[in-house]
Structure 1
Amino acid sequence: MITVRDLHPWPSTEAEAEAVQRRLRPLVRVEEPAEIRTAAGLDVAYREDSDELVAAVTVLDVATLSVVDSAVVRDRARFPYVPGLFAFREAPPLLTALQRLAVTPDVLVCDGQGVAHPRRFGLACHLGLLTDLPSIGVGKTPMTRFDPPGEHRGDWTPLEVDGEEVGRALRTRTGVKPVFVSVGHRCTLQAACDLVLRLTPKYRLPETTRTADHLGRQST
C-alpha cells in the first residue's frame, strides 16, 4: 500500500501554496530509477459548471501496456483554479486514489509538470515527494520557453528556465506536436523521456494518461 507522507498542511491561499512549493523544492531528488515494470497514469476530470471532480489512477504493465489496477475518487475541488498551483487542487483526491491501489506502481506519470514549472515544483514533484515514488511530468502544454524539436518521433529540444534545462519538448509521433517532459522526483530526465517513448507506441500521449483520462471520463 502507498503511504502518503505528511510534509505540510494544505494551504488555503495562493501565497501559502507558493510558500509550500518553495519550501519543498529542495527535497526533489534526481536519480536513476530502478527497473520500471509498472507505471501509473493520473488524471483529474471536472464536471461542467461545478466544483465536482473525479480523480482517476490506472496502473499499466509497461511491457504489455495492459491495465493491471485502477482506482477512482469522486470529490470536490478545495482550492481555486490557479495556473502553477494545480497540485493543491488535484493532489488530494489523486493521493486518495493512489492509496486505494492494490498494486504499487514503480513510477507515477502525471498529466502535468515536474520541475518544468516557474517555481520548479509542479504536480509531479508534489506527488512524488508525498509518496516518495519516482515520478515524471508529461504536460500537454509548456510553462517554459522552448524551440520546436525536429519532426520525427524521438526528436527533442530543451525546456529552459533562466537558461537552465528543466525538461524537454519531446516528439512522440512524427509530424504531431510534442509533449513536455520533466522530472518529478527520483528519476532522471533521460529515463523519463525513454519511458514516455515506451508508453507512446501509437498516440501522442502516454497510454498511462490515456487510460486514466478514459476512466475518469467514464466515471463523471
Structure 2
Amino acid sequence: MKAFPKPADLQEAMTLQRSLAEKVVLEGSLEGVQRIAALDASHKRGKPLVAVAVLYHLEKGPLAVGLGVVPEEDLFPYIPGFLSFREAPAYLQALSGLPEPPEALMVDGQGIAHPRGLGIASHLGVHLDLPSIGVAKRLLYGRLEGPLPREAGSAVRLLSPEGRPLGYAYRSRTGVKPLFISPGHRVGLEAALAFVRRLPTRFRLPEPLRLAHLEAGRALRRLDP
C-alpha cells in the first residue's frame, strides 16, 4: 500500500487537495457490493491516534477488525478541512491489517462536501482507487436545500454556496440529528445515499460505522486504561 503524503505546511496541503480533487470521479454504483470497510478514529491529547477498519459483509455482518496507531508527535495538526492528513495514515495501517480487501470504503468524515472538494473519504478513495462514501456527524461545508423532516429515511440535498449538489443531509432515525452523506470517489450522489439507506441502522449511525466507532473507543481505552 503506497505511503500517504505528509505536506510541510497548509499551503502545500491545499495545493495537494485541489490537485487530487480533480481526480475524483462522481459516477458509479455500489449495486452488488457486499464487503465494505467502515473507518473511524479516536484520539486523546497526549496519546497516539488510533484508527480502526471494520470489514463488514452486508449479509454476514462484521468479519474482521484492522487497527492503526500513529504517535501524537507524528500527527498532522488538527485543523478543520485537513483531517485526511491527520487520520489517513492510521487508516491505511488499519486497512492493511484486514484479511481481505474491501470492495468499498465508508468513512466517518466528508466526501466532496468540503471547501476544496476533497474530504477524507474522497482523499482515501482517490489514494486507494476504491469507491468511497463519507458519512459525517457534522456539517463542514454547504447548506441544506430546505428543511429536513424528522421522520426516519428523510433526506434533503446538500448544496455548495453556488448551488452545486454535494450530497445529502439524512435522517437515519426519527428525531435524531442528521448525518451528512457525500460521495467520496467512484460513487454517484444518489448511489451514495441509496447505499447508506440499505445498511442496517438500529441507532443514529449505520451499523458498520457504529461498530467502527465502538472499536475505536475500545482501542483508545486499551492505550489509556
TM-score (norm 2): 0.90
1:101 equivalent in structure 2: 98
1:153 equivalent in structure 2: 152
Please state how far the C-alpha of 1:12 moved relative to its aligned partner: 2.4
Deviates more, 1:99-108 or 1:81-90: 99-108
**Which stretches of structure 1, 4 residues or longer, exceed 4 Å deviation after superposition?**
none
Is the partner of 1:30 in helix, strand or coil?
coil
Q: Read off the aligned partner of 2:137 and give its amino acid letter.
A: K
What is the rounded CA distance, in whole Å, between the counterparts of 1:12 and 1:50 in structure 2? Answer: 22
Deviates more, 1:53-62 or 1:195-204: 195-204
2:130 equivalent in structure 1: 133
Please state how far the C-alpha of 1:39 moved relative to its aligned partner: 1.6
| 1:115 matches 2:112 | yes
Is the partner of 2:49 in helix, strand or coil?
strand
Of residues 66, 71, 74, the one that matches 1:76 is 71
Of residues 20, 23, 47, the one that matches 1:24 is 20
Equivalenced residue count is 214
8 A Cα contact 1:12 1:79, kept in partner: no
2:58 equivalent in structure 1: 62
8 A Cα contact 1:69 1:103, kept in partner: no
What is the rounded CA distance, in whole Å, between the counterparts of 1:199 and 1:12 in structure 2? Answer: 39
2:181 equivalent in structure 1: 181
Is the partner of 2:143 in helix, strand or coil?
coil
Please, what is the CA RMSD of the aligned residues?
Answer: 1.5
Map 1:165-204 to 2 at 5 A. 165-204=165-204
8 A Cα contact 1:113 1:123, kept in partner: yes
Q: Structure 2 stretches of 5 or more lacking a match?
A: 221-225
What is the rounded CA distance, in whole Å, between the counterparts of 2:107 and 2:169 in structure 1? Answer: 16
Q: Read off the aligned partner of 1:145 and give its amino acid letter.
A: R
Q: Read off the aligned partner of 2:48 and give its amino acid letter.
A: E
What is the rounded CA distance, in whole Å, between the counterparts of 2:111 and 2:201 in structure 1? Answer: 23
1:146-178 residue CA offsets vs partner (Å, 9 max, x unmatched): 133112222111111121111100111122221
Please state how far the C-alpha of 1:51 moved relative to its aligned partner: 4.8
Q: Read off the aligned partner of 2:147 and give its amino acid letter.
A: P
What is the rounded CA distance, in whole Å, between the counterparts of 2:122 and 2:102 in structure 1? Answer: 16
Please state how far the C-alpha of 1:18 moved relative to its aligned partner: 0.9
Q: Read off the aligned partner of 1:59 and give its amino acid letter.
A: L
Is the partner of 1:201 in helix, strand or coil?
coil
8 A Cα contact 1:44 1:216, kept in partner: yes
TM-score (norm 1): 0.92
Identity percentage of aligned residues: 39
What is the rounded CA distance, in whole Å, between the counterparts of 1:215 and 1:172 in structure 2? Answer: 21
1:218 equivalent in structure 2: 218
Deviates more, 1:54-63 or 1:196-205: 196-205
Please state how far the C-alpha of 1:11 moved relative to its aligned partner: 0.3
Q: 1:51 to 1:13 in 2, by over 3 A?
A: farther
1:165-197 residue CA offsets vs partner (Å, 9 max, x unmatched): 111001111222210000100111112111212
Is the partner of 1:19 in helix, strand or coil?
helix
Q: Read off the aligned partner of 1:62 and give its amino acid letter.
A: L
